[in-house]
Chain A
Amino acid sequence: MKINLKVNGILEEVEVDASAVLLDVLRDKLHLTGTKEGCREGECGACTVLIDGQPVDSCLYSAAAAANAEIETVEGISANGLSAIQKAMVEEGGIQCGFCTPGIVMTLTALLRQNADPTPQDVAVALNGNICRCTGYSRIVSATLKAAKNAMAQKAGDAHA
């Protein structure tokens, strides 16, 4: 079947099986390989993308069900250079092997849009769907708090200007 997917603001027409999951369409048809497959069972969160702003496991999400929604992948949020959370992840050392990183970046992007000033506990709870085996999480949490702080400072600066 042919479906229309709006990925990172670009409308794409793709031919898919009715049973295709979004992850495979993103990686194999649209060559957006920044989204990773870690388990294909909805546990690890490496495949997290945003659908209408909400983080989902694209390995379990029907591609057809994503038609007409706004789909965002790590490539989309990197289009204009590093976002605040990406920059903070690099600076704070919230990255080791990097395989979980795109998924975590997407989850935290959604969190920071919904909660501009999260607590460490808010961040940890938001990450319940993302496993990082390398870092032990604390630098990811501190990166998120730093990104939030930087964004708030930026906003305050903009308001004064």
Chain B
Amino acid sequence: MPEVIGRSVPRADGPGKVTGQTLYTADIEHKGMLHAAILRSPVPAGKIVRLNVDKARQMPGVKAVVTAADVPNVRAGWALFDTPMFARDEVLFEGEPIAAVAATTLAQSRAAVAAIELEIQEIPPVGDIDMALAAGARLIHPKLAQYGSVPGIVFNREGNVACKYAYEEPGVDEAFARADRIIEDTYDFGRQYQGYLEPKGTVVQYRDGRYTVQSGHQYVFNLRDRLAQFLQIKPSDVRVQGMAIGGGFGGKLDFGPEPYAAVLAKATGKPVKLIFSREEDLLAATVREGARVRVRSALDKDGNIIGREFFTDHDNGAYSGELILMAGLALMFCRGVYRTGPIRTQFRLIYTNTSPTGAYRGVSGVPMISAIECHMDHIARELGVDPRAYRLAHTLNNNEKLPNGQMLHDAAILMEAYAEIEKIAPWEEMKRTKKPLEGVAIGSTVWLTNPLPASATVKLNEDGSAHVLSGTCDIGTGAMAQGVVGIVAQTLGLDPANVHVVQPDTDVAAYDGGSQGSRTTRAVGRAAEHAAIEVRQKVLDAAAPLMQTEAARLTLSGGKIHDIEDPGKAIGLTDILMMGAFASGPIVGTGKHAEQPIPFDPGCAAGLAFPTLPTPTYHVHMAKVAVCPMTGNVEVKRYIVAQEVGKALNPQGISGQIQGGVAQGIGYALHEGLRVKDGRYMERSLEAYRLPLAVDIPEVEAIILEHPADEGPFGAKGTAEPPIVLAPAVIHNAIYDAIGVPLNSIPLTPENILEALERRKSA
């Protein structure tokens, strides 16, 4: 039996996906199923003066029309409860749901939506964070102070600021006062759409007093809880069954169409399908937030950073999702992975009359780390030193601390990552061989693995195959289809083809933190490993009497139980299951995983949702770009990643995550930006919001570093999220190197670059 761990075993769900047999939400049909559509606010801000659904209710095929009047008058949310299900008296963003219709056909429900009489008295929108922070700005949530929130987390809120966090170490002002020079940058970051290929959708049924929700969703327990909040029912009255998911990237962690379909399913007594159109999905997606980061460094005469100010403002949109939990990142990332003197840091999450923002791969860390990395290049250039050499001289080593007091025991992996890249792309040679308008850049960071708890059950079947039950899905990364399958196959000595993953189901699985933050392989994998170890022990215990020996003398591999001390003696696993199961009972194991808390300084980090960076991993990226002076287009000529993964359980899966994450980062660096004007998105289709194509993306060279972690399954750490985190800044800095004038936004579109080239001419 060849080793499974460390081998590029193809994903278990590949044949289903490549033949189109895999069932996604939109493919579900139920007897009598109705089709739903939502009426959304056409304006970013206003008072609802009139809402009349009588005519819509009389339209052909219409079975139900529901509005705020038909649902509990409550506000819900992931952490801060500020979100109503339907707009009640006022609308706070363009696209906010106002009513929902279920009809026999989709065309009928859309016709009925068009027939709803809606009159809104428009109010000038608080369209961006500057307007929201201006003195005398209209308050988007006048009752903000009264909103409930999850216990245990402190949200400092005031005015249009949903959450503010600030901390400073002693000596910042003194450092700036004695500085040899001060360098300051302000960077603006655009909104990035997750752009998953499958628009959000759901099918909901209401039977026997319970809701059954079928959705391709990243975090079925979060969805269950949100529905319970909106509908004012017990979480256990909701059953969420995860479907195959056509991409998510953080965008499918919270509620989408589900509460609306649920209310309609109850009102009609029929299954209700609600699939967002692409425009609707884009309008209502909780995209990566726009942000403005101001970073200021005090330098001594040797170029050491003796003080740092870091102020990061993030656009929450009209309601809060996951971002309100991210305040602590401003503490962890304000220095990057570099030594600085004392820091002063501040995070603000600001309400605007725009579509709510949320998690996207690298949630809230992307603008922060990008700002630090761009600022590092600026400092190096101001000092007239090489940006790589400057980084190396100031990079954290083993056992140095982040500002939250967390010790980074293994930060020297960063040096290893630089060295590995140097082997295949020597920096001096990269610089020397540049042609005009070509640029190179390198950057580094630390990233985390989401620490939410996990559970898994492994059920051994009578034919010697196994099923893995858990509360999370394979979002596409292969974390389940390759990672967890491999862990269970290896532990039980099974062929990976005989290990089957069951889609998540909140009625069946114990609580799990969902597919997010690179946690699945590590946390669910560890839980599944524990479960499989229990199964293995039960198999050996059942085999021992049949083999007339002790379980301690037995091992399980290749579908057989072997006697270590008598190699000729073996019995088939299926024989045990047929015979032994009568004596021992069916063989099932369960496992769980919870991350050990990391010590931190409570003086600065108490009350934060994430006071530490759990399971730190280390990353160095290098890029080479060429800028076209005629069009402003940028070609990424070479891209190299060196990434710490703990243990590469499946190298193919990992390199796929690196390639895919970098592709999204390149898209964000160069053209993916949802522009907001007067509170409205200017890009409203995939034609206008351009996603990277095959011709845009080079083959990313991936160097996988392995420093196994004791707590991870076979030593694995999180892998999938971080490849996107450095790419925007590294591309940005390579463009800076190519054209030599400072640039202060991401994305850098061809227009931005042509404008910078003009500046260069006149300089």
Contacts and interface: CB of A to CB of B under 8 A. Distances in A.
Interface in B22-45: 22-24, 26-27, 29
13 contacts: A33-B23, A46-B197, A74-B20, A78-B19, A82-B15, A89-B18, A93-B10, A93-B478, A98-B16, A101-B17, A101-B20, A123-B694, A127-B695
Contacts of B21: 34, 78
Given A82-B19, A136-B663, A93 B656 contact: yes
A128 B247 contact: no
Nearest to B664: A133
A134 interface: yes
Report, nearest first, the 4 A-B pairs whose CB atoms are least far apart. A34-B20, A99-B246, A98-B17, A97-B476
Contacts of B445: none
B475 to A, nearest CB: 7
Contacts of A91: 10
Contacts of B751: none
A86 interface: yes
B20 A139 contact: no
B232 interface: no
A30 B18 CA distance: 20
From B197, B478, B662, B686, name the one whose CB has the most chain A CB atoms within 10 angstroms: B197
A66 interface: no
Contact of B246 (A86, A98, A130, A138): A98
Given A34-B21, A43-B686, A98-B246, A137 B697 contact: yes
Contacts of A36: 20, 24, 26, 197-198, 246
Given A97-B196, A97-B198, A34 B19 contact: yes
Contacts of B195: 131, 133
A41 interface: yes
Contacts of A140: 694
Nearest to B14: A90
A75 interface: yes
The majority secondary structure among interface residues of chain B is loop
B11 A93 contact: yes
B656 A74 contact: no
A72 to B, nearest CB: 12
Interface string B184-204: 000000000011111100000
Contacts of A125: 694-695
Contact of B687 (A31, A43, A86, A99): A43
A100 B18 contact: no
A11 B11 CA distance: 35
Contacts of B390: none
Interface string A77-116: 0100010001001111101111111100100000000000
B662 A136 contact: yes
B697 A136 contact: yes
Given A74-B19, A98-B17, A133-B196, A37 B656 contact: no
Interface string A49-81: 000000000000000000000000111001000
B197 A133 contact: yes
A43 B197 CA distance: 11
Contacts, number: 175
B660 A98 contact: no
From A91, A101, A141, name the one whose CB has the most chain B CB atoms within 10 angstroms: A101
B14 A133 contact: no
B744 interface: no
B80 interface: no
Nearest to A135: B660
Given A90-B10, A93-B8, A133-B691, A33 B659 contact: no
A58 to B, nearest CB: 13
The majority secondary structure among interface residues of chain A is loop
Contacts of A82: 15, 18-19
Given A90-B15, A93-B653, A98 B22 contact: yes
A43 B656 CA distance: 24
B667 to A, nearest CB: 9
Contacts of A44: 197, 686
Contacts of A124: 693-695
B21 to A, nearest CB: 7
Contacts of B278: 38-41
B693 A131 contact: yes
Contacts of B659: 135-139
B20 A135 contact: no
A137 B10 contact: no
Contacts of A98: 13, 16-18, 22, 244, 246, 476
Contacts of B16: 98
A39 B478 CA distance: 25
Interface residues of B, number: 57
B652 interface: yes
B422 interface: no
B698 to A, nearest CB: 8
Contact of A136 (B476, B477, B700): B700
Nearest to A37: B26
A96 B478 contact: yes
Contact of B686 (A33, A78, A131, A138): A131
Contacts of A133: 194-197, 247, 249, 660, 664, 691
A128 B476 contact: no
A89 B11 CA distance: 10
Contact of B197 (A31, A97, A123, A139): A97
B20 A134 contact: no
Contacts of A74: 19-20
A37 B246 CA distance: 11
A148 interface: no
A94 B553 CA distance: 43
B126 to A, nearest CB: 31
Nearest to A78: B19
Contacts of A138: 659, 697, 699-700
Contacts of A95: 11, 14, 17-18
A132 interface: yes
Contact of B245 (A43, A78, A97, A102): A97
Contacts of B27: 33
B236 interface: no
From B29, B246, B694, name the one whose CB has the most chain A CB atoms within 10 angstroms: B694
Given A125-B695, A138-B659, A99 B19 contact: no
Contacts of B693: 124, 127-128, 131, 137
B24 A99 contact: yes
B22 to A, nearest CB: 6
A82 B697 CA distance: 28
B277 interface: yes
Contacts of B15: 82, 86, 90
Given A41-B686, A82-B18, A134-B660, 5 more contacts: A31-B29, A128-B693, A133-B691, A138-B700, A139-B652
A148 to B, nearest CB: 16
A47 B477 CA distance: 22
B20 A35 contact: yes
B431 to A, nearest CB: 26
B685 interface: yes
A130 B198 CA distance: 13
B694 A137 contact: yes
Nearest to A85: B18
